[in-house]
Homo-oligomer: A and B are copies of this chain.
């Protein structure tokens, strides 16, 4: 009887795996990994293989999505297979798909959770978890197409006095990840079109760079200031706070994210 263990690798490098995850990988017959649903910019495959003590086979988007993860499932039918995944494994829909296919083939599955950008970004922003509305991904725009969803989600959340967590798109093939500046420009161009005063140059935003890394950086300020702020290399994440803040949130933005003192006027 085979087994497929999804192991979350966390956020940044090979040291972000848990002791439990490492134990599962070490006791597996085969170890696969993917690095296209998130970029783990500090990770080296060589160091990961040293830590795990086994060869790690990296699978592509094509293997998982076009070929339905067939190479992984074939091994897992008879043997114990660990599949190492950035973040918390089931946040990416593609891994839920794979898990469903495994179960359908009678393969037992197990999940070892890892640190996710979902909770990390919420925590680093200094804003309160239960005040976040739905989150959204800001995709690279295709020529001549304008994808309005991110703007609409921020608008919808602000109307309900909620914060918005925005994930920024990645193009794993090109090892390219959207920057805060690019994301803000996309939203400003939507603002120009829709004119609902949702994301203007004066709006407050929180930029988060390299969550989980030693040199991670969080900066809260107006969109205008953030456009010129040097966040360094990606991955980047963006948060739009609600128009009204809890006083602890305002304090956190000032003390932990370097927001201007005027942010305190947004607190009740």
Contacts and interface: CB of A to CB of B under 8 A. Distances in A.
Interface residues of A, number: 59
Contact of A124 (B90, B93, B124, B134): B90
A96 interface: yes
A1 interface: no
Contact of A130 (B131, B135, B211, B248): B135
Interface stretch (A98-106, A184-192, A221-229, A259-267): A98-106
A91 B122 contact: yes
A159 to B, nearest CB: 11
B96 A129 contact: no
A78 interface: no
Contacts of A113: 10-11, 16, 115, 119-120, 123, 211-212
A66 interface: no
Nearest to A128: B93
Interface of A: 8, 10-11, 13-20, 22-23, 51, 87-91, 93, 96-97, 99-100, 103-104, 111, 113-116, 118-120, 122-124, 126, 128-137, 156, 160, 162, 211-212, 216, 248, 251-252, 255-256
